[in-house]
Amino acid sequence: MPKRPMGQKQAKMAALAAKGKNKESGDGSGNSKESPIDLDKFAKYSKFQEDNHEKRLQILQVQQKLLSEKIEASKIAHLTAQENKEVKKLEKESKMMEAYLSISSQDTSSMSDVEKAERVAVMKCLRQKLFPVTE
């Protein structure tokens, strides 16, 4: 009959014995004075974590900068739109003022009564738009 393979505990003990770290080398409580962590690997890992943390901070800073620039750009676009709206309003008012001045300086002696009435109505409307009465 073939020999049975060794059990899990025996394999573990054999591996520890091969490394020279069997249970008897400890203080009896299972805690050995030797560190199971390889210090070189630990140093590399901690350096990797620090570098990774710095890169994450840089990414966060770039994201915040982009966000603030995006907000600033949207504010500027909003102000530009408001200014354009104001410019259009002023252009409209200036055209209305030109029309008002043109109509007010016309000679009414050759106009019929209907034309005079229309002129008065137009001037009244333009006057109300240009010079609103505030109460």
Domain that holds residue 125: 37-130
6 assigned to some structural domain: no
Q: What is the model's pTM?
A: 0.47
pLDDT, tens digit only, all 135 positions of the chain: 677 777 888 888 888 888 876 444 444 455 555 556 677 888 888 899 999 999 999 999 999 999 999 999 999 999 999 999 999 999 999 999 999 899 888 888 888 999 999 999 999 998 888 888 876
60 assigned to some structural domain: yes
Q: Which segments of the chain are extended strands (E)?
A: none
95 assigned to some structural domain: yes
Tokens of 4: 């049975």
18 assigned to some structural domain: no
61 assigned to some structural domain: yes
- DSSP annotation string for 44-110: HHHHHHHHHHHHHHHHHHHHHHHHHHHHHHHHHHHHHHHHHHHHHHHHHHHHHHHHHHHHHTS--TT
Number of other residues whose CB lies within 10 A of the CB of residue 26:
13
In angstroms, rounded to a whole number, what is the distance separating the alpha carbons of residues 21 and 15? 9
4 assigned to some structural domain: no
Cα angle value 85/89/93 (rounded, 5°): 170
Token look-up 């050759």 returns 110
**How many domains are contained in the chain?**
1
